[in-house]
Amino acid sequence: MKKEYKDKFPEFCSDFANHYDLCLSDDSDGLLVNNMLEIQTWNSTRFFYDFDMLYIEKGYKQQNPIIGCDIDFTEGRCWGNHVTAISNRDIINPNSANINSIDKINSKSNYTSKYAGSTLATVMSYYNYDISNLSEQAKMLIMCIDSHYYGFYTSFHNTQKKWLVDVLQYPELYDIILKHEEQDFIDLAISLNIKIPTGKKDRYGKEKYRDGKIWINEDGYLETEIDLKGISDILEMEITLPKIQFEPYFQKKKDEPYLIPKTGYANTQYIRDREQVQENIFSYSQTYKNSASYTYLYRVNPKQL
C-alpha cells in the first residue's frame, strides 16, 4: 500500500500487542477479511453481524474491543470499504480502516471518486500480502470479491485503476483485468456461490445477482452457501467459518428497557431527518450517491408495550 495512505490508517491496524475480538460479517468479503485477519493478526472471532442482529459467542463475557470485518461501524474499530459520509461536514469514524473514510469521500462532493473495491484487497495491501505466486484463477477470485472487477468495465475504469495500482499497489491484479472480460469474473463468482443468480433482470435486461450469504442456524451455529472448499483450493489456504455457538448480543428484557437493532435502506435525507435513527446509528454505508443501508439501535420499553 502506498505509504501516504497506510500512514493514515488507525493505530489498531498495527497493534499486535493488545487483544481484540473479530466480528465476522455475512458475505464473501467479510469471510475472507476475517480469515486474513485471523492469520495475520488476531485469532479470536467472537462476534457475527448479519446487519439485522449482532451475535456473540454463547456464554462469552466480552473482555476485548471488537474489530468489524467488512463492516462500517459508525463508532469503534472496523475494516470497511463503503462511503460513510453524506457531506464533508459529517464526522467520520476515526477508527475506520476504510480508504474512502481516510480519503474523506462523501456522497455530495466527490462520490464518483470513491474506491469501489473490496475490503479484502485493502486488508491484503495494508499487510503487504504477496500475490506474485498466486495462480491466475486466484487473482481473478480476489477481484470477484465484492464485485471489485465491476468498475473496470464502466466509465470509472481509470478511477479504479488508480486505487488498485497506485494506492493498493497491485498491478498484477490490473493485469488480470486487462486479460479477461467481465463475464469471466461473473462466471467464476457464480461457480463458487459468491454470486447467486436471482432469475430477474435489471432495466437494461442484464441478469441480477445477490451475494452468497452466511447465517445463523436454529442451533446458533454458522452456515453458508458460499463454496468454502472451492475458495480454499483456489487460494491454497483454508477458508473456514468459526465453529462456535452464537446467541443474540441484544437480549429482550421483561421489566426494563432494552435495545434492539433495526435495519433499513433509505434516501440519505430521510436518514438525516430522522432524529432517532441519526442519534442511534450503529452501522452505515452509502450504497448509491443518494441512498444508504443502515442499522440503528431502537430502545424498547416493555412497560409501554
Cβ pair 97, 125 in contact under 8 A: no
User: Could you give the CA distance from residue 305 to residue 301 in angstroms, rounded to a whole number?
Assistant: 7
Nearest-angstrom CA–CA distance, 36 and 129: 10
Q: So what's the pLDDT on residue 263?
A: 86
Rounded Cα distance between 218 and 200, Å, is 30
* Mean of per-residue pLDDT scores for the chain: 92
Three-state secondary-structure class, residue 52: coil
C-alpha cell of residue 225: 452457501
Residues 169-226 have pLDDT tens digits of: 999 999 999 999 999 999 999 999 999 999 999 888 889 999 999 999 999 999 999 9
Average pLDDT over residues 269-286: 74
pLDDT higher than threshold 90 for residue 292:
no
